[in-house]
Chain A
Amino acid sequence: EDKVVQSPLSLVVHEGDTVTLNCSYEVTNFRSLLWYKQEKKAPTFLFMLTSSGIEKKSGRLSSILDKKELFSILNITATQTGDSAVYLCAVPNAGGTSYGKLTFGQGTILTVHP
């Protein structure tokens, strides 16, 4: 059975801090790992990672994958109150298409105080 574990489950920081969110996985026939941001309603796509060691970057957010150690990290630098959200990590299930059935982690609740 595929498994995705995120840590920490919750995190409280102040504006300007840098945070690192972790996602470890056990999945048959790994294809990719996805990060989503959820602010109360619809999760929105952040990154898709397929290769080890190649950093994906978007503004203050960046993510990297380690396929040997089976984990990914999501970094947010100079956090702002608008970064407060649940961050979800997901991997496609074995037998699914590249972006088909997804197994999600529990999510990390990030709260950024002014």
Chain B
Amino acid sequence: DGGITQSPKYLFRKEGQNVTLSCEQNLNHDAMYWYRQDPGQGLRLIYYSQIVNDFQKGDIAEGYSVSREKKESFPLTVTSAQKNPTAFYLCASSTGDQPQHFGDGTRLSIL
């Protein structure tokens, strides 16, 4: 079945460590997005990419990095510069005038 796969479902980060969250889609969508969800704050956009090898910062990009080397993949790295990384991270994709489809998310916690 077509969809968006995020892994891992749960991730723990130590102080000073970079961690990478995976997002893969087989929907042939052009655009992909990363959101962060904190309690009571809805979803906030971290980075997005409209085409391969191109991406733009969202509203809260500091402390995060991304790459888009393949259409199907849009990994997110949470760097040690992100001082409050504990959150639920959601990846989404879309194409044309269709609504965004979301993955099941990765819950990141600090050890």
Give the tally of cross-chain contacts (CB within 8 A).
57
- What 5 A-B pairs have minimum CB-CB distances, sorted nearest first? A104-B42, A42-B102, A41-B104, A104-B43, A45-B99
Whether B105 pairs with A42 at a CB distance below 8 angstroms is yes
Chain A residues with CB under 8 Å of chain B are: 4, 6, 9, 34, 36, 41-45, 48, 88, 90, 97-107
Whether B42 pairs with A9 at a CB distance below 8 angstroms is no
Binary interface encoding of chain B residues 63-94 relative to chain A, with 1 for a CB under 8 A from any of its CBs, else 0:
00000000000000000000000000010001
Whether A99 pairs with B100 at a CB distance below 8 angstroms is yes
Considering the chains assembled together, what is the distance between the CA atoms of A48 and B90 in angstroms?
A: 20
The interface residues of chain A, by DSSP majority, are classed as strand
- Indicate if B20 sits at the interface (CB-CB under 8 A): no
Contacts of A104 in B (CB 8 A): 35, 42-44
For A99, give its contact among B41, B90, B97 (CB under 8 Å). Answer: B97
Nearest-neighbor residue (CB-CB) of A44 within chain B: B102
Chain B residues with CB under 8 Å of chain A are: 4, 31, 33, 35, 40-45, 48, 50, 58, 90, 94, 96-105
Whether B58 pairs with A9 at a CB distance below 8 angstroms is no
Considering the chains assembled together, what is the distance between the CA atoms of A107 and B4 in angstroms?
A: 22
**Which of A34, A48, A99: most chain B Cβ within 10 A?**
A99
For B102, give its contact among A43, A105, A106 (CB under 8 Å). Answer: A43
Known: A9-B40, A88-B42, A107-B42. A100 touches B50 (CB 8 A): yes
Known: A34-B99, A100-B94, A101-B48. A42 touches B104 (CB 8 A): yes
Considering the chains assembled together, what is the distance between the CA atoms of A62 and B60 in angstroms?
A: 33
Nearest-neighbor residue (CB-CB) of A1 within chain B: B59
For A98, give its contact among B45, B97, B101 (CB under 8 Å). Answer: B97
A68 to chain B, nearest CB (A): 24
